[in-house]
């Protein structure tokens, strides 16, 4: 718990001793003395006697000093609602549903700030100074930094990223605005576990994104992408000539006085205390995997306290950022930022009607955070709201066979997520979303207190994990069959090569090949003889880059065969240079699965100029 600057003198008096407590504060804190006199005058204007007004002010300030109401501006809210709110949150904390810091403000005054639980279970408790990973709240800050540079004329939302990252896949078609609005077609995550444990930069994340390629044509539809924001962070760096962390500090943090915020790409100050993220598993809080959140640079790399987040919100609300805050509020003026990652969660909410700000930073993923944000405004309005009881969950240990049936890849709004089990009764989806088995066909998600049904097809194979919401909302994570998932992965690599070749994207081409890969071409001459060419990847890419005409190759009816880490794609093709037909034949592509994903090790094709299936020519 922390006091406002006016209330630094901590007094442990009871209300019955308020006169002595008040006298002590009067002699030691002049700003506080002025506040008491002001409160007394306001109370007298409301019809109270001087004695009752002073006594009321003394009682309120004693409550503040004793920690019952750790606030500035408490008079506006009244102590009863604040005590009711504190009791509500304390109930959830005692039930092991809350671990973190809660801040509530009325206008520009913090009226409640209190920490619960442990920064590291069994070792150190959370305090208002504890830094929490605020996950995708980072994206809102990156958005403000982007718009601040737009306002300064450093870049435009319409600029293609080819101005700064020319070798990025489809760089001419991706704009700064596409990155900002999740419409660049970049997948949500492009990292392997080892990438997430290593220190990353915006530059290194761009290289990983280049290797992964696009999953959608730029600008066609929204696909939520943390990696897209990491690419955006790199664009900001190159446009402004400064590291992302420095730009964030200069454009967003320093103007608000949020000086305690740290980005994961920069060194942590000596003595800074960070909260470890935990999952609420059946066996108790389970620490999330150790990761360097620098792999989420620009997207989820920020560590902050609620107090510093509040300073940023106040500057947004007061108009201090100007047009840089254009995307930070909705059309009603509401601020609604949130995110969760690796066992941590942050919610920032400002209501323009009540002028109330609620900020929760948590290092334990439970649905209690949503309860707090939902119920605190009702409590402050004087409504009697009892803290809900945490759901009682009876975890069930699934058989090894059932776990194998559930494990695999799931499609969630265009992004593919891997589900794997931590224990016989608990599984993680995408490394971040926890499911607890409550039956062979039922799962429970502690992070939002939601029930899910396991859906199977007519053959008994798991086909989806579907939300069962009380309001009838139904959202499904559709399971991609193992064979189909691997087939799609293999074909996607081949298509990324063809797209990069057409765009003369040399980095994109190199990203899908093993360095030792070869190109073998077999051409039958009119005499019946066969000539064979054999080239390295570098030679082939140089030839593509040196020809001013676009190289366009189209494939049809691919056949894919996979055996563990070896795959072969057999497909008909035709080839054009610009609008001029060159050849047709069959591609035989061999790929190997590496730690970085599928990579092409060999391409052999038969080349002929006649006997081809006639198809409409491509558009150059």
The DSSP string of 538-557 is HHHHHHHHH-SS-EEEEEEE
**CATH 2.40.128 residue window(s) in the chain:** 400-480
Q: How far apart are CA 288 and CA 434, in angstroms?
A: 11
Beta bridge partners of 523: 531, 607
**Alpha helix segments (H runs only) across 78-185:** 79-94, 137-151, 176-180
Q: How far apart are CA 89 and CA 177, in angstroms?
A: 40
> What pLDDT is stored for residue 72 in this prediction?
37
Contact by Cβ (8 Å): 555, 571: yes
Structure tokens at 490: 């293999």
Which of 140, 216, 127, 123 minimizes the C-alpha distance to 178? 216
Phi, psi of 311 (to 5 degrees): -60, -40
Q: How far apart are CA 318 and CA 309, in angstroms?
A: 14
What size, in residues, is the chain? 620
Q: How far apart are CA 21 and CA 13, in angstroms?
A: 6
**How far apart, in Å, are the Cα atoms of 432 and each of 25, 429, 470, 534?**
48, 6, 24, 46
Q: How far apart are CA 469 and CA 429, in angstroms?
A: 19
> What pLDDT is stored for residue 557 in this prediction?
84
Cβ atoms within 10 Å of 206's Cβ, excluding its own = 24
Helix (H) or strand (E) holding 60: helix 50-66
Ranges of the chain whose pLDDT falls below 50 = 1-77
Q: How far apart are CA 509 and CA 161, in angstroms?
A: 18
Q: How far apart are CA 566 and CA 600, in angstroms?
A: 10
Give the burial class of 138: count Cβ atoms within 10 A of its Cβ; 0-12 exposed, 13-18 middle, 19 or more buried.
Answer: buried
> What pLDDT is stored for residue 51 in this prediction?
42
Q: How far apart are CA 146 and CA 175, in angstroms?
A: 13
Phi, psi of 78 (to 5 degrees): 90, 140
Q: How far apart are CA 376 and CA 365, in angstroms?
A: 19
CATH of 484-608, one of 3.20.20.150, 3.10.20.740, 3.10.450.50, 3.40.50.2300: 3.10.450.50
**CATH 3.10.450.50 residue window(s) in the chain:** 484-608
Q: How far apart are CA 238 and CA 43, in angstroms?
A: 57
First vs last C-alpha separation in the chain = 65
Contact by Cβ (8 Å): 490, 559: no
> What pLDDT is stored for residue 99 in this prediction?
97
> What pLDDT is stored for residue 212 in this prediction?
83
**CATH 3.40.710.10 residue window(s) in the chain:** 132-380
**How far apart, in Å, are the Cα atoms of 152 and each of 129, 240, 273, 444, 528?**
34, 10, 35, 48, 67
Q: How far apart are CA 325 and CA 148, in angstroms?
A: 8
Q: How far apart are CA 507 and CA 554, in angstroms?
A: 21
Share of the chain above pLDDT 90, in %: 65
70: which residues sit within 8 A by CB, 6+ positions away?
Answer: 1, 2, 3, 4, 7, 64, 112, 113, 114
Q: How far apart are CA 360 and CA 348, in angstroms?
A: 7
Which CATH number describes the domain made up of 132-380?
3.40.710.10
**How far apart, in Å, are the Cα atoms of 496 and each of 48, 206, 408?**
77, 16, 24
Contact by Cβ (8 Å): 374, 388: no
Contact by Cβ (8 Å): 251, 148: yes
Give the burial class of 248: count Cβ atoms within 10 A of its Cβ; 0-12 exposed, 13-18 middle, 19 or more buried.
Answer: buried
Q: How far apart are CA 246 and CA 253, in angstroms?
A: 10
Which CATH number describes the domain made up of 400-480?
2.40.128
Contact by Cβ (8 Å): 491, 484: no
Q: How far apart are CA 9 and CA 29, in angstroms?
A: 8
Cβ atoms within 10 Å of 152's Cβ, excluding its own = 11
**Alpha helix segments (H runs only) across 134-283:** 137-151, 176-180, 193-197, 202-212, 226-240, 244-248, 254-256
E strands, 250-406, are 262-263, 278-281, 284-287, 302-304, 335-341, 344-351, 356-362, 364-365
């Amino acid at each position: 718990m922390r006091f406002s600057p006016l209330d630094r003198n901590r007094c442990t008096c009871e209300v019955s001793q308020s006169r002595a407590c008040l006298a002590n504060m009067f002699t030691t804190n002049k700003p506080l003395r002025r506040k008491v006199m002001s409160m007394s005058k306001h109370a007298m204007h409301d019809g109270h006697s001087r004695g009752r007004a002073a006594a009321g002010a003394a009682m309120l300030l004693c409550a503040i000093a004793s920690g019952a109401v750790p606030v500035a501006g408490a008079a506006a809210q009244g102590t009863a609602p604040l005590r009711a709110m504190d009791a509500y949150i304390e109930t959830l904390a005692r039930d092991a549903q809350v671990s973190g810091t809660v801040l509530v403000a009325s206008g520009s005054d913090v009226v409640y700030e209190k920490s619960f639980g442990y920064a590291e279970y069994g070792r150190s408790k959370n305090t208002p100074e504890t830094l929490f990973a605020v996950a995708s709240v980072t994206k809102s800050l990156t958005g403000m930094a982007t718009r601040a540079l737009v306002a300064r004329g450093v870049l435009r939302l319409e600029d293609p990223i080819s101005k700064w990252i020319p070798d990025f896949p489809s760089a001419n078609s991706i704009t700064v605005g596409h990155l900002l609005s999740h419409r660049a077609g970049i997948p949500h995550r492009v990292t392997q576990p080892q990438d997430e444990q290593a220190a990353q930069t915006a530059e290194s994340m761009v290289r990983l994104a280049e290797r992964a390629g696009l999953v959608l044509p730029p600008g066609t539809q929204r696909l939520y992408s943390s990696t897209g924001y990491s690419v955006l962070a790199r664009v900001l760096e190159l446009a402004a000539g400064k590291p992302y962390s420095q730009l964030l500090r200069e454009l967003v943090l320093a103007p608000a006085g949020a000086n305690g915020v740290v980005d994961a790409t920069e060194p942590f100050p000596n003595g800074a205390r960070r909260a470890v993220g935990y999952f609420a598993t059946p066996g108790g809080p389970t620490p999330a995997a150790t990761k360097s959140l620098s792999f989420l640079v620009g997207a989820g790399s920020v560590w902050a306290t609620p107090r510093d987040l509040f300073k940023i919100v106040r500057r947004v609300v007061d108009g201090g950022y100007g047009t840089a805050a254009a995307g930070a509020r909705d059309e009603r003026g509401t601020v609604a930022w949130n995110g969760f990652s690796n066992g941590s969660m942050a919610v920032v909410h400002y209501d323009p009607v009540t002028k109330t700000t609620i900020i929760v930073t948590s290092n334990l993923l439970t649905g209690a955070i949503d309860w707090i944000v939902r119920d605190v405004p009702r409590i402050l309005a004087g409504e009697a709201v009892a803290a809900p009881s945490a759901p009682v969950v009876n975890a069930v240990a699934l058989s090894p066979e059932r776990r194998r049936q559930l494990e695999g890849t799931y499609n969630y709004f265009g992004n593919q997520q891997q589900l794997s089990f931590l224990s016989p009764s608990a599984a993680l989806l995408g490394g971040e979303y926890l499911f607890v088995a409550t039956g062979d066909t039922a799962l429970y998600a502690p992070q939002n207190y939601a029930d899910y049904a396991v859906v199977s097809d007519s053959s008994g194979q798991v086909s989806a994990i579907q939300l069962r919401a009380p309001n009838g909302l139904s959202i499904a994570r559709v399971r991609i069959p193992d064979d189909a998932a691997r087939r799609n992965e293999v074909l996607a690599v081949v298509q990324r090569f063809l797209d990069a070749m057409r765009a003369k994207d040399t980095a994109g081409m190199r990203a899908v090949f093993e360095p030792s890969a070869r190109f073998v071409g077999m051409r039958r001459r009119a005499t019946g003889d066969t000539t064979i060419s054999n080239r390295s990847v570098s030679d082939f890419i140089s030839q593509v880059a040196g020809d001013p005409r676009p190289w366009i190759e189209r494939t049809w009816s691919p056949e894919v065969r996979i055996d563990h880490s070896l795959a072969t794609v057999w497909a008909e093709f035709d080839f054009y240079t610009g609008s001029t037909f060159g050849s047709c034949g069959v591609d035989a592509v061999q790929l190997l699965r590496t730690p970085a994903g599928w990579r092409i090790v060999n391409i052999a094709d038969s080349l002929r100029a006649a006997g081809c299936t006639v198809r409409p020519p491509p558009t150059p």
